[in-house]
Structure 1
Amino acid sequence: QVDCTQYSSSIVKDEMAWVACPRNLKPVCGTDGITYSNECGICFHNKKEGASVEKAHDGECMLKSITIDCSIYRRIVIGDRVMVPCPRILKPVCGSDSFTYDNECGICAYNAEHHTNISKLYDGECKEDIAHIDCSKYITETTIDGKVLVSCPDILRPVCGTDGITYDNECGICAHNEGQRTHVGKKHNGKCRQETSEIDCSQYPSGMIKGGKSHIYCPRILLPVCGTDGFTYDNECGICAHNLQHGTHIKKSHEGRCKKESVTIDCSTYLSSTNIGEAIPACPFVLQEICGTDGVTYSNDCALCAHNIEFGTSVAKKHDGRCIEEVPQVS
C-alpha cells in the first residue's frame, strides 16, 4: 500500500488537485500492470484518473508473453528432426528467452526443433538490458571461517548468467557471487545457448554436380545461424555446403544472425579546413547518441570523429544508442 499523504497536492490545474511528485527514479509496478517511475506516480495517476491502483511490487512490471499460433506454418520431418520452413521476411520479434528472432515463425521453428515453449514478448529486437537480481531476499549464513553461504530453494527455473553459465535459478547466481566474489548478472531466463557447436552434416543429402564436384542439397528453410567466420548462413546446412565447396572448417558460433562488432565511421564528411590548413571536425548540434568501442557514449557520429582526431585514437561505433553496462553488480 502506497502512502499518498506524504506527497504535496497543492498544485491546481483546470480546477483539479494534482500530486507534485519528485523526479527520483525508483520504478514500481502497479496492480494495473503499468510501471510507474516511483510510488508517487501511482498517487498522481489515482488522483488524476480517479482510480484506486496499488503497488504490486518494487521494480518494473514483468512483460506478459504472447502465444503465437504456429499451426499456420507447415512442418516437415527430416530424419528425427521436426523443422518449420519460415518465410524470408524480416520482422524481428523478441522471444521469452530474450533472443531476437527474424519473425514469429522463427519462434515456432525453434520450438519445433528443440521441444521448447518459447513465446513472444514483443515486436522488435530484444533490448540488451541485463536483469537485476535482488539477492537480499535469500537467507544467508556466515560460517566460522567467515564465508557467506546463500540458502537457495530447490526450484528448477534455469537462468543464463552473464558468464555464459546456466544456473538452476536466480538464487544460484547470488550464491555463486557470494562464494566466488564475482558480479555475475542474469542475461536471460532459460538455459544458456551453446556458443559453438558441431553440426552433423551427414544428415543432409549430397550429390555430384557438373565438373565432378560434390554438392550438398540444403532445404529452403530460414533458421539463421552465425558461423565462426562471422558470416550469417540461412541455416546449419548452409555451413555444411560452404565447407564442402571451399574446403573450410567453419563451425556454428551461435543461433541467429551474426552481430556486427563495430562499424567504421567515414569522418571525412565532417572535416573542414582552418586558415592554416588544419583539418578539424565541424559537428552539428544533433543528438543521435552512439556507443563507441571504448564503452563511451557520444552525442553523434561526428563527436566520435572529433574524439579520434583530438586524441589520436581509432575508436569505432559499436552500436546506435547509449552504451549499456554489460555486467551490473548484483545486490
Structure 2
Amino acid sequence: MKIVCVFLTALLAQAFAGDQCPPGPCTMDYNPVCGSDGQTYPNLCTLKNAQCRNGGLTVAYQGECKAECLRACTLDYRPVCGSNGKTYPNKCVFEVANCQDGSLTVAHQGECKSECLRACTMDYTPVCGSDGKTYPNECVFETAKCQDGSLTLKSQGECLHAQLL
C-alpha cells in the first residue's frame, strides 16, 4: 500500500511539474467578459486563469463578444488611453472595446495617467449627484467629481428616477 501511495505522489508531482499555471477554482456564475483574443469567458476568474497561460490576454469589455467585434489582436504593448480613462494595451484592443461601447475615443497615446483614479470599496451607501446619477458610495462620487469639477453632492441616498452609475 505504501508503495502505491509513493508511486501516485510521484506521478502527480511529475504531471504538474511543468505546469506553472494550475487552474484556480472559479465559480459557475455567468457574468461574461470578452477577452482581447475575441473569446467570451464565462466570468473574470476563467479569463484570469487563461491569462496565466497567455500573458497578453486582457479584458476587452464586459459581456459576450459580439461577432462583428471579434478581431485577433497582437500582443504588442503600445498603450492607448481611452476617453473612459482606461489604458488599452494597443490600438487593436481599444478598437475591439470601442466596437462594443461605440462612444470611446482615443484620449492620447500612452498609458492613462489621472490624479482622479483611486481605489474605492464595493460598499453600497448611495449618494445622489447634481447630474442626477446615483453613485454607489462617496468614494466613487468623489472620483467622478475630480473628473467633472462642476459636480456637487445633491443628497444622501439614491436619486429619484436616477441613472445608476
Which protein, 1 or 2, shows the higher relative CO under an 8 Å CA cutoff with sep ≥ 6? 2
* TM norm structure 2: 0.30
* TM norm structure 1: 0.16
More strand by share: 1
Q: Which one has the largest radius of gyration?
A: 1
